Amino acid sequence: MTFELWTSLIAGQPALSILVWVSGLIVVMYVARQPVHQIILTLVRSVRNTLRLMAQSVMLAEKQLRNRNREVLLAQGQEHAERSIEREFQRVETLVNRDLSGYPSLQRDLKEQITRIDEDYTQSGEVPPKPPEWLKAIDAVAKIPDNGSSVVGKILSDIHNTLRKSLLKSTQEYRRANRERHVLLKKMMPYWRSLTNSLNSVEKKITGLEQRAAIIDSQMQTYEEIRQQADFSERLLSSSSMTQFFISGLALCLALVGMYVNFQLVALPMEEMVGASSYLGSSSIRASDVAALFIISVEVILGLFLMESVGVTRLFPIINLLDDNKRKAIFWIMLTFLFVFAGIEASLAYMRDMLAADREALSQLLTGADVTEPALRWIPSVGQMVMGFTLPFVLAFVAIPLESFIYSFRTVSGLFAVWLLHMLVVLIRFVGSVIYGIGRTLINAYDLVIFIPLKLENSLKRKPNSVLKESSEEPIEIKNETELSEDNSSYIDELKEK
């Protein structure tokens, strides 16, 4: 019917009819060109501006989230640095309490040793023997000429002998004194050595303290950088957080495998306690499975509290704020419970082995085979018991990766959300650009349809003094990106203020 309308305008001339229709349409389109262009442009501009506003809002949200992540990251980093510094100070305190508490006694020892050495040294001082007083008189007598008198010669000879005896006695006395000095000096040696050892010990302690001080200095520097909210610190913490996330995630996966093994050890014997065909309400969840999971969950929770009471993790601030005695009490209570549960698990593991053996024996009986006891059956029994006993303690350490995972998950999820928002911004902008491009293409396609009258118009415009030159028709002005954004700048500013 429609096609007939197009071909039946001039009877018997369908092609001419279509030509007339098309010509008319082109004329109408040419006349309506400017308003149509404006409608298309207004439409695509409004859509694009709306999308740009959306993108701005999302960008703002992204920025806020980024700032929030930064705050969280820096706060976590600050807390971590505080904990590290606190720990270092605790170590220094321990060092000081352990080593330097004995410093007064050490000082006293040193003083005593020095005094003894001093006394010995004083005693070992060499005092030259004084010459006898009568030596000058003898010297004078010895200078008396003998004049050939035998009496004088005898006297002089006696004097000589007396002098020799006195000299010999003095020499012996001098040697004895020297020997005593040497003995005294020999006695000083252990004191010297002891003194040297004491000083070496002091030096080592001082060196240990110096090393600790250097570590504290380094950590304080990191802490200061975090407090100053340096970009470097943020990048460092972010990278560390990602690493922690993956490592703790891996550790938790391994812990889950451990929990599964534990579950397998406990689930079968639990059937003996709660029944093999008991289900939870009307669900298809077996009561024995739930009981086994409950035991494992309790063990994990005991481990959490144990680690918390020791101060390894800080998931529960209430426990951390308790005084040391109460925390110690919690530690011992949790450890006792953990031992009890480990014992229960070991016995359940043994029961599991017995049940498996019983089941195996029944199967052999039902198949008509001779029931035989396999050799070295005790090995898997003992193995299962050991596993049952040790796994609760292993699971207790899940608290450490769990804490890391929770802390790092917050950061990583924040980073992921920022990335998502960023991708949303990119997508919105892309869609806006595509819509604007479609609008421009539509305008060009429109002009392509009416290219004949447009060509005529252009050729008429080129003629000087043409009447058409004074036509009020103006080229369509398409605002560029900057102008478009300026249109909405006031609105964006308002949004930012909000």
Partner 1 sequence: MKRIFLSLGFSLAVVLVLLVGCSEPRSKRAVYVLVDTSGTYSQQFEKVQGVMRYMLGTLLPGESLALARIDSESFSEKDIVARMSFDLRPSMANAQKRAFLESVEKFGAGISPSKYTDITGGILQAIEYLNETKANEKYILIFSDLKEDVKQDQVRDFPINFNGIHAVAINVTKLQSDNNDPREYQQRLDAWATRVEQGNGTWKMINDLNRLEVIWD
Smaller CB separation from partner 1, 39 or 257:
257
> Under the criterion CB under 8 A, does residue 283 sit at the interface with partner 1?
yes
Residue 402 contacts partner 1 per CB under 8 A? yes
Judge contact between 92 and 216, C-beta under 8 A. Answer: yes
16 counts as binding partner 1 under rule CB under 8 A: no
Find all residues with CB under 8 Å of 379, minimum gap 6, and list them.
Answer: none
Is 483 within 8 Å of 48 (Cβ atoms)?
A: no
Angstrom distance (rounded) from CA 292 to CA 302? 15
Task: Indicate whether 268 belongs to the interface with partner 1 (CB under 8 A).
Answer: yes
Question: 464 — phi, psi (to 5°)?
Answer: -70, 155
Chain mean position to CA 190: 52
**Site size for partner 1 (CB under 8 A):** 41
Least CB distance from residue 315 to partner 1, whole Å? 5
- Of 101, 277, 472, 480, which one interacts with partner 1 (CB under 8 A)? 277
CB of 307 to partner 1, least distance (A): 12
Sole binder of partner 1 in the list 41, 188, 295, 304 (CB under 8 A): 304
Instruction: Tell me how far, at minimum, the Cβ of 206 lies from partner 1, in Å.
Output: 41
| 80: nearest Cα among 69, 68, 72 | 72
**One residue of 89, 260, 339, 451 binding partner 1 per CB under 8 A:** 260
Distance separating alpha carbons of residues 357 and 463, to the nearest angstrom:
110
Range 319-378, binding partner 1 (CB under 8 A): 354-355, 358-359, 362-363, 365-368
Question: Does residue 413 bind partner 1 (CB under 8 A)?
Answer: no
Per rule CB under 8 A, is residue 167 in the interface with partner 1? no
Of 259 and 428, nearer to partner 1 (C-beta) is 259
Number of helical (H) and strand (E) elements in the chain, helices listed first: 15, 0
Listed ranges 1-9, 185-193, 401-409, 424-432: which one lies at the site for partner 1 (CB under 8 A): 401-409
Label residues 186-219 b or e (16+ Cβ within 10 Å = b): eebeebeeebeeeeeebeebeeeeeebeeebeeb
Query: Looking at beta carbons only, is 120 or 289 nearer to partner 1?
Result: 289
- Decide if 19 contacts 28 (C-beta within 8 A): no
Residue 80 makes contact with partner 1 by CB under 8 A: no
Tell whether residue 258 is a contact of partner 1 (CB under 8 A). no
- Check residue 266 for interaction with partner 1 (CB under 8 A): no
The CA-to-CA distance between both ends of the chain, in Å, stands at: 59
DSSP-assigned states of every residue in 269-314: HHHHHH-TT-BSTTSS-BHHHHHHHHHHHHHHHHHHHHHHHHTS--
Q: Which of 275, 343, 383, 437 binds partner 1 (CB under 8 A)?
A: 275
Does residue number 406 form part of the binding site for partner 1 (CB under 8 A)?
yes
Binding site for partner 1 (CB under 8 A): 256, 259-260, 263, 267-268, 271-272, 275-279, 282-286, 289-290, 293, 297, 300-301, 304, 315-317, 354-355, 358-359, 362-363, 365-368, 402, 405-406
